[in-house]
Amino acid sequence: MSLQQIFGWGTLRLALAGLIGAHGWHRALTGGVQLFGQWLDNNGWPMGILIAVAITAFEIIGPLFLALNRYVTLVCLGYVGIYATGIAILHAKVGWFVVGPGRNGAEFSALLILVLLSVAVHHWPSRR
């Protein structure tokens, strides 16, 4: 791999780590875990608080693996599952746009999923 490719993929992986980590830490430090868990409970998910804790922990711990370039494919695919579920249970119902002509839409999650899939495929273990 060229130096440009290493820099490009590394920058993208670190950007994902920073964005996802900030999301998890913000939820953890502002009382959002409880609110997220209650929202899940109110929408028929069993053990909503446990799910909220698990997702938040994964959003805090997973970025460390991304930053260290370890288990990148597995971590990215885990996030794809989480964010795809978020689109299915919330974001798709309110539309496409996050801001502007809409609110809480799916556009950012969709972009994040595409980027995560790209990074996951790039880091897919090869059989050499």
Q: Is residue 84 part of a domain?
A: yes
Residue 1, pLDDT score: 84
Q: Is residue 105 part of a domain?
A: yes
- Give the span between the Cα atoms of 14 and 8, in whole angstroms: 10
Q: Is residue 104 part of a domain?
A: yes
Contact 59, 106 (CB under 8 A): no
The model's pLDDT over 90-128, given as tens digits with 9 standing for 90+, comes to 988 888 887 777 778 888 999 999 999 999 999 998 765
Residue 99, pLDDT score: 77
Contact 66, 14 (CB under 8 A): yes
CB atoms within 10 A of CB 57: 13
Which amino acid type is present at position 18? G
Written as six digits, the tokens of 83 are: 């964010």
Q: Is residue 40 part of a domain?
A: yes
Instruction: Say if residue 47's pLDDT is above 70.
Output: yes
Q: Is residue 128 part of a domain?
A: no
Written as six digits, the tokens of 65 are: 């693996």
Written as six digits, the tokens of 32 are: 């959002």
The count of domains in the chain is 1
Domain that holds residue 68: 3-123
The model's pLDDT over 48-100, given as tens digits with 9 standing for 90+, comes to 999 999 999 999 999 999 999 999 999 999 999 999 999 999 988 888 887 77
Unique residue bearing structure tokens 């502002």? 30
